[in-house]
């Protein structure tokens, strides 16, 4: 009885796996692709980098904006 149940389940799975790809429709492009338009990559978050230094014996840090190319903070002692 177990062998028949396993065989039935195996045949059912195989039959379904062959039927599913036949039902799917191929993807169709709705808009023509314009290759002459240049698109710019725009980051969604600001990328930053921390800089550290020792000034007059004190450890300091400052944050640089890689995205905008400017300092975000002044030197701050730790």
- pLDDT digit of tens for each residue in the chain (78 aa)? 888 888 888 888 777 666 555 556 666 766 666 666 667 776 578 889 999 999 999 999 999 999 889 999 999 998
Beta strands in the chain (DSSP E): 48-55, 58-65, 70-71, 76-77
**Domain boundaries defined on the chain:** 45-78
DSSP state of 33: -
Phi and psi, residue 76, nearest 5°: -125, 130
Q: How many CB atoms lie within 10 A of CB 60?
A: 15
Predicted pLDDT at 5:
84
Predicted pLDDT at 70:
93
């Amino acid at each position: 009885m177990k062998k028949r149940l396993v065989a039935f389940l195996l045949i059912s799975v195989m039959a379904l796996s062959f039927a599913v790809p036949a039902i799917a429709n191929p993807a169709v492009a709705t808009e023509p692709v314009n290759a002459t338009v240049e698109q710019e990559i725009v980051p969604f978050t600001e990328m930053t980098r921390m800089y550290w230094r020792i000034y007059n014996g004190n450890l300091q840090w400052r944050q640089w904006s890689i995205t905008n190319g400017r300092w975000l903070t002044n030197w701050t002692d730790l």
